[in-house]
Structure 1
Amino acid sequence: MSENDFDVFAVLLDAAYALYGKALPAEAKAAYFESLKDWPMETVRAALNAHVRDAQRGQFAPKPADLIAQWEGYTAHDGRPEADEAWAIALAAQDEAATLVWTAEMMEAFGIARVVLDRGDQVGARMAFKDAYKRLVEAARKARRAVHWQTSLGWDAEQREVALTQAVARRRISASTAAALLPPPDRIDEGDGAHQVRANLQRIREQLAALPSPLQRARAARAARLREQRQTVRARKSGMLEQIWRYAYLYPDTFPVFPLLTYDQSVSARVRPECRCPMPVPAAQAKRKAA
């Protein structure tokens, strides 16, 4: 990041901390920015998003060390294929009819291997590709660059539909990107099967439109985590209150005063059936002592 990115960085940081009901002073933001200034802005954004979605670390406001840990974990599973899978994907670049969804590292590595491949040496081309691809991926991860999937459209419309649909299912491109790359109905050549092609395209568009966006998935996941956390806290509070009432009933002399604490009917059913009375603890103790 450059100094010009500080304002955008501050907005991202404020938004993240607002989720936890906190705010950072200007001095802390400056120190935060200084510790991450070697990172690209898109990497900082990805690390912040990963932190707030993390079931464990995401329970607390992010510190620079948290973002670094998120990114280190992300690079191990950043969606970049292994070299053998990348080679199998890149080989389709020889077919002008095929639609490719590949990364910048695949594209550059295949450009290096293409010279060897054109000479008919597929084994040598594969080795050259794998060496170049591993080197490029390592450099990208060291530079903290997120994976970027690109599309290269072939002339075969049916193969395009299959490739784009698979890419969306694997979360390599968004549904809106895939829908924009499908040919509109008025550009389909008339002929045998044209009506079926239009119907298939419409079906695929509807399926893509029904898929949740990354933001919607993130919101749903966060809402599910919050519901689970609330249920856990509620269960803990209920258990603690039950223990307090049980102890207060058995040892009333050790609880002379319970300010602002009233009896909970849902807890009373699990403590003693004869204690079902909506009254403060001191009143209940006085009643037992009088008896």
Structure 2
Amino acid sequence: MLTDAEQDQLVDMLATTAEVMGEKISPNAATYMVLDLLSYPLPTLARALTACRREVKGRLSLAAIMERIDDGHPAPNEAWAVAIRAADEAVTLVWTEQTRDAWTAALPLVEAGDKIAGRAAFLEVYTRLVKEARAAGGCAVYQPSLGHDAGARDAALQQAVNAGRLAHEQVAEHLSLPAATPAFNPLALLAGRVEASPEANERTRERLAEIAELFRSDQGAAA
């Protein structure tokens, strides 16, 4: 949902785009357009307006803008290619709500061994759900479906974060933590020396050097 400040920005963007396309847009018309567009992120709308300026011949219209909004919903066959992977419970997926729900409808047919009927059911339900989502406005919402393979899970979730489909906060608890490494060299410690490990940061190295100096002083005093 656009903030008040972003709505003001969008009004200016609409007016400027209309002017570049050789016309003027009234404040009332711009306001009604904003009301129909305010569920989309401003950067998404900015890209759609850029496409209008480059592609549309004639006046700026709400329909032209809507046609050029990339709302994040995969094409039906693309969504099916993602969903069918859910048949393997080891696989981690990142999919939209509509893909998930269409897969739920198709799953009984797939489990019965009829993937052709399952795909047809999926495409029918998915197309309907996406149409409803687009009528309501807003961009696709992605969510993870976690599989049993922890290594592949990390890769899938990190890829989704890098692509902007998931926020790191959404998946941080599901990502494996790197193996802990000691700040000191344990073998050197057994030999009576305090040495920093290669992975230790500068602050830790300084602190270990202080400890090593104290250790040497104690040995000297004992001698």
Give the structure-2-normalised TM-score: 0.57
CA displacement 1:82-127 (0-9 Å, x = unmatched): 3222222112223332111111111111111112223332221111
**Judging changes above 3 Å, is the alpha-carbon distance between structure 1 residues 118 and 19 closer, same or farther for their aligned structure 2 residues?**
closer
Task: Provide the residue aligned with 2:139 in structure 1.
Answer: 146
| Residues 196-275 of structure 1: pairs in structure 2 closer than 5 A | none
Q: Distance in 2 between matches of 1:114 and 1:56?
A: 40
Q: Distance in 2 between matches of 1:179 and 1:107?
A: 18
Give the superposed CA RMSD.
3.8
Unaligned runs of 5+ in 1: 23-27, 59-63, 188-291
**Judging changes above 3 Å, is the alpha-carbon distance between structure 1 residues 40 and 119 closer, same or farther for their aligned structure 2 residues?**
farther
Instruction: Give the deviation of 1:12 after TM superposition.
Output: 1.2
Q: Distance in 1 between matches of 2:105 and 2:116?
A: 14
Task: Provide the residue aligned with 2:168 in structure 1.
Answer: 176
Q: Distance in 2 between matches of 1:55 and 1:109?
A: 31
Contact 1:167 1:173 in 2 (8 A): yes
Contact 2:96 2:140 in 1 (8 A): yes
Question: How many percent of aligned residue pairs carry the same amino acid?
Answer: 34
Task: Provide the residue aligned with 2:31 in structure 1.
Answer: 33
Task: Provide the residue aligned with 1:12 in structure 2.
Answer: 6
Task: Provide the residue aligned with 1:49 in structure 2.
Answer: 46
Give the structure-1-normalised TM-score: 0.45
Q: Is 1:104 the counterpart of 2:93 in the alignment?
A: no
Q: Distance in 1 between matches of 2:116 and 2:44?
A: 39
Task: Provide the residue aligned with 2:221 in structure 1.
Answer: none
Task: Provide the residue aligned with 1:190 in structure 2.
Answer: none
**Judging changes above 3 Å, is the alpha-carbon distance between structure 1 residues 152 and 129 closer, same or farther for their aligned structure 2 residues?**
same
Q: Which amino acid aligns with 2:92?
A: T
Paired residues in the alignment total 165
Q: Which protein has the bigger helix share? A: 1
Q: Is 1:69 the counterpart of 2:64 in the alignment?
A: yes
Instruction: Give the deviation of 1:129 after TM superposition.
Output: 0.7
Q: Distance in 2 between matches of 1:87 and 1:156?
A: 21
